[in-house]
Amino acid sequence: MALIKRNNNQQVTIQKKANVSRDLDASKYKSYQRKTLKVDPPVYELVKTISYVTDVKMYDLVREMANIYLEKNVDVRDRENIIRMINQKGD
C-alpha cells in the first residue's frame, strides 16, 4: 500500500460504491429459447476471444455482428426481403 502524507489525527475515508442497478428486462429471450449455432473451431475461438476481451456475452456479440453485416454488406432490396422474412416468422 502506498504511503499517504496525512495528519496523525486524520482518518482515511474510502467510499466504495457498487453498481447495483439491474436491467432485468434487457433480454427478451430466455436461455432455453436460444438455438445452437454450429461454426468452425477458428470462428468459435475468434468470437469467444472477442467476447472475453470486450466483456460482452457471445450471443450479444453475434447479434451485433449480424446486424452490422446486414447494414454494411447487404444491398437495400435484399435487406428489406430479409427483414420481411424474419418478421413473417415472428407472426
In the structure, what pLDDT confidence band is assigned to residue 68 with cuts at 50, 70 and 90? Answer: very high
Q: Which residue has the higher pLDDT, 11 or 59?
A: 59
Mean of pLDDT values over 64-91? 91
Alpha-carbon gap, residue 50 to 38, rounded angstroms? 17
pLDDT of residue 52: 93
Is pLDDT of 4 > 70?
no
pTM of the model: 0.62
For the stretch 17-49, pLDDT in tens is: 776 676 666 667 788 888 888 999 999 999 999
CB 31, CB 46: distance < 8 Å: no
